[in-house]
Amino acid sequence: GNMFGSSKIYQRTTTRKRTISFSFVSNWFRSKPSIPQNQAAEHLEFKGTAPPASVLDCIKLYPNFITQDEHNALVAEVDPELKLRRYQAGHWDNVAKQYREIEKPTWTEANLAIFERAKTITETEKSKDWGKFIHVLDLKKEGEIGHHIDNTEAFGCTIAGISLLSESVMTMENKETGSIIELYLPPKSLYFISDEVRYNFGHAITHTPTFKGKPVNKDRRISLILRTRTKDKD
């Protein structure tokens, strides 16, 4: 028998040597990882005042950025640490409700490789100065994050996040212009918001989201958040 399982495909080859070499090339192409594609456009909904087209350059989404095994490994690493903390009814500034969080500097080698893959997914992201800590935010089913803009003195121009456990919707709103952008976040996806959207649009996650008129089944959700540093930060 043919160890490559492709004798029928390459029956016209005249020697076993050629059959194996063609099979090897075929298997290599099948196993070669595909280059991730930004699919934000298919996961966006616009409400209110239409935003300028330039904002689309500031939002990226990569569905299925991680495999199910990678997803499970990330959950398995953070869950024991999260369970040492109680869910908080409200944040001191009343932004987050029914949440718990940790800042995590150390990870297993395999999980650390996932974050490195995220930070180098494009040449643009690769050139940025990413912080060392990963912000782990755990929302209960009824948990939510109110409209806010991340601290501009503490963090730089880009925020990224890997979504775990359940689907959700991030609502981004420019209070001055009335533009509202909704980004559907499936589990295992990676998102980036940067520049104009990061600074001019606050973002929020409601506990009863909808997307394009349909309810979204948000349950407990863990997000692993990466942020770039400001130029004057170590």
Per-residue tokens: 54: 């330039």
Compute CA 165 distance to the chain's CA centroid, rounded to the nearest angstrom: 12
Whether the per-residue pLDDT at 62 is higher than 90: the answer is yes
Residue 117: partners with Cβ closer than 8 Å, 6 or more residues away: none
Ranking 3-7, 106-110, 144-148, 209-213 by mean pLDDT, the lowest is 3-7
Per-residue tokens: 27: 């298997």
| Alpha-carbon gap, residue 152 to 121, rounded angstroms | 24
Q: So what's the pLDDT on residue 31?
A: 47
Ranking 32-46, 74-88, 149-163 by mean pLDDT, the lowest is 32-46
Q: In 3-state terms, what secondary structure has residue 48?
A: strand
* Predicted confidence (pLDDT) per residue in 92-129, tens digit: 666 889 999 999 999 999 999 999 999 999 888 999 99
Higher pLDDT, 51 or 12: 51
Compute CA 204 distance to the chain's CA centroid, rounded to the nearest angstrom: 15
Ranking 3-7, 88-92, 106-110 by mean pLDDT, the lowest is 3-7
Ranking 23-27, 76-80, 152-156, 175-179 by mean pLDDT, the lowest is 23-27
How, if at all, do strands 96-104 and 214-215 pair? unpaired
Per-residue tokens: 221: 């959700």
Average pLDDT, the chain: 85
Whether the per-residue pLDDT at 135 is higher than 60: the answer is yes
- Per DSSP, 112 falls in state H
% pLDDT > 70, the chain: 82
Q: So what's the pLDDT on residue 9?
A: 36
Ranking 18-22, 99-103, 163-167, 226-230 by mean pLDDT, the lowest is 18-22
Per-residue tokens: 49: 């005042």
**Model confidence band, residue 232 (pLDDT cutoffs 50, 70, 90):** low
| Alpha-carbon gap, residue 213 to 226, rounded angstroms | 30
Higher pLDDT, 135 or 55: 135
| Alpha-carbon gap, residue 115 to 143, rounded angstroms | 25
Q: In 3-state terms, what secondary structure has residue 63?
A: coil
Q: Which amino acid is at 69?
A: D
Q: Is 11 exposed, middle or buried (0-12, 13-18, 19+ CB in 10 A)?
A: exposed
User: Cα(first)–Cα(last) distance of the chain, in Å?
Assistant: 60
Per-residue tokens: 125: 């992201």
Q: So what's the pLDDT on residue 3?
A: 36
Give pTM, 2 decimals.
0.82
**Model confidence band, residue 74 (pLDDT cutoffs 50, 70, 90):** very high
The region that residue 82 occupies, defined by phi over 0 for left and psi between -120 and 50 for alpha, beta otherwise, is: alpha
Please answer whether residues 172 and 183 qualify as being in contact, where contact means their C-beta atoms are separated by less than 8 angstroms: yes
